[in-house]
Chain A
Amino acid sequence: MSTAAVNIAGVERIFPAQAGGSPVTALTPIDIHVKENDFVTILGPSGCGKSTLLRIVAGLDEPTNGLVEIRGDVVVGPGADRGMVFQSYTLFPWLTVERNIEFGLREKGMPAGERRDIVRDYIAKIGLTGFENHYPKQLSGGMQQRVAIARALANDPAILLLDEPFGALDHQTRGLMQELLLNIWEADRKTVLFVTHDIEEAIFLGSRCLVMSARPGRIKADISIPLPHPRHYRMKAEPGFLDLKVRLTDEIREEAMKVA
């Protein structure tokens, strides 16, 4: 078997008991193989362990059992090969847009000239030309998340991890962000793990959708999304899309009812 981009093998996470409580099992053993250049969405009700799973892949948290491999190498901590975009706004407030995007490039010791070209390229891709010298607080939430995506991608990671990056945005903005992300992905087809609790988002973006059960989290369905690329937002009203939506809605409803 060829090495997968991401191999999640028997990953389990039990948080130790807090004072007066019992241990929380966030993830029961999970196995996932992600192929290179796949866009995998992970869909589940809130509290099911999506963030925990993604943080383990990022190396920001450790599994109680099991392991994660990236292109065959076991994850032992965070690293530049896995770019991450968080739901909270995590741009460095003391750095301008430009400097935020080149943060990882400086870590690599890349010369200024090369950095400038890459940064300019990504600023154009996310449509923020003219905002190079703005500070994060001068940007809207959508703009900040675009910069966060550019910051992660500029590093050219093997895989991009996104944890509900558009969760805090209003519906219109979220739609635009999805298209922007999809455009970028369609151009370079980087491997992506995208966590969301939004069914439409999971279908529109993904080539494959993993549905997680309510806590303790496990993968309850693995659904391929064979919709053609490039995708356009109007696709959200077409029959193929709606069929998938019904199917995923059924899956998610079952889980949501368990915790509601």
Chain B
Amino acid sequence: MLFVAGWSLATYGGYVSPIFLASPTRMIEEGWLLLTRFGFMHDIGMTIWRVVGGFVLAAIVAVPLGIAMGAWKTVEAFFEPFVSFARYLPASAFIPLLILWAGIGEAQKLLVIFIGSVFQIILMVAVTVGQTRRDLVEAAYTLGSSDASVVWRVLLPASAPQIAETLRLVLGWAWTYVIVAELIGSSSGIGHMIVDSQALLNTGQIIFGIIVIGLIGLVSDFLFKAANRRLFPWSLA
């Protein structure tokens, strides 16, 4: 609210030139134009598909590997050094390289999201699984569980809520990678629209784009939280 008030004051009050910052009404008009005339729905769709696609691929690889690392010390010792190193590599710095390797097509966009997400998920899942209560594991053994069934019947369900929470967090970060990927070498997507608008000095469109990103992030976050509540009723206080 304060943010909108400050923004209105700056723009309607004439303190900031419209070239640098459009007013809220102007932004809404531009947004409407984008949606109805310039096919912005398609851009939004592309961006969502890239985030979800890259993120799902990352999760498919990272969750099982993270669980294996959390469960078995040998697996952890094998992968941990590389993954710890790789997580600090900024995904956006890979973009030029990925363009060389994969061109500027969808594969490159998905790879940026993938690289940005996969190492984070692996490490956070491994830590979560590694922190499973020792006494629950022991209880399972005294009930006749094998090592494999301890993984399936104790480590996995015990960690599931925290793993879901990790995915929610990383999905949020994936949104920032996708926009960067689209700013460079792209012909569609919200990031692409923002670059186009910058060329035309259309700050209304840029701000509209940013707000749309925020809203989608909020909605996906909300959906994730709601799903977690439904899936893991036992873990709530």
Name A's B-contacting residues (CB within 8 A).
Answer: 58-60, 77-80, 82-84, 86, 88, 90, 92-95, 103-104, 107-108, 135-137, 151-152, 155, 161
Contact = CB atoms under 8 A, between A and B. Distances in A.
4 nearest A-B residue pairs (beta carbon): A80-B144, A104-B143, A78-B141, A84-B142
A90 B160 contact: no
A43 to B, nearest CB: 22
A86 B139 contact: yes
B32 to A, nearest CB: 48
Contacts of A161: 142
Given A93-B234, A94-B157, A94-B158, A151 B136 contact: no
B149 interface: yes
A94 B139 CA distance: 14
A60 to B, nearest CB: 5
Contact of B135 (A80, A88, A151): A88
B143 A94 contact: no
* Chain B interface category by residue count: 20 to 34
Given A79-B144, A94-B158, A155-B144, A137 B234 contact: yes
Nearest to A82: B142
Question: Main secondary structure on chain A at its contact with chain B?
Answer: loop
Given A79-B144, A80-B144, A107-B149, A94 B135 contact: no
Contacts of A84: 138-139, 142
A107 B143 contact: yes
Interface in B140-158: 140-146, 149, 153-154, 157-158
Contact of B138 (A78, A135, A155): A78
Interface of B: 133, 135-136, 138-146, 149, 153-154, 157-158, 160, 232-235
Question: Main secondary structure on chain B at its contact with chain A?
Answer: helix
B139 A90 contact: yes
Given A60-B142, A152-B142, A161-B142, 6 more contacts: A60-B138, A83-B143, A90-B135, A92-B140, A103-B140, A135-B234
Contact of A83 (B135, B142, B234): B142
B143 A151 contact: yes
Contact of A80 (B133, B138, B143, B158): B143
Contact of B144 (A86, A92, A107): A107
Nearest to A84: B142
Nearest to B154: A92
Nearest to B144: A80
Given A60-B138, A78-B138, A86-B139, A94 B235 contact: yes
B104 to A, nearest CB: 45
A82 B138 CA distance: 12
Contacts of A107: 143-146, 149
Contacts of A93: 158, 234-235
30 contacts: A58-B142, A59-B142, A60-B141, A60-B142, A77-B141, A79-B142, A79-B144, A80-B142, A82-B142, A83-B142, A84-B142, A88-B135, A90-B138, A90-B139, A92-B136, A93-B234, A94-B157, A94-B232, A94-B234, A95-B234, A103-B140, A103-B143, A107-B143, A107-B145, A108-B144, A135-B233, A135-B234, A151-B143, A152-B143, A155-B144
Which among B138, B140, B154 has the greatest number of chain A C-beta atoms within 10 A? Answer: B138
Given A93-B235, A94-B232, A155 B157 contact: no
A94 B158 CA distance: 7
Contacts of A155: 143-144
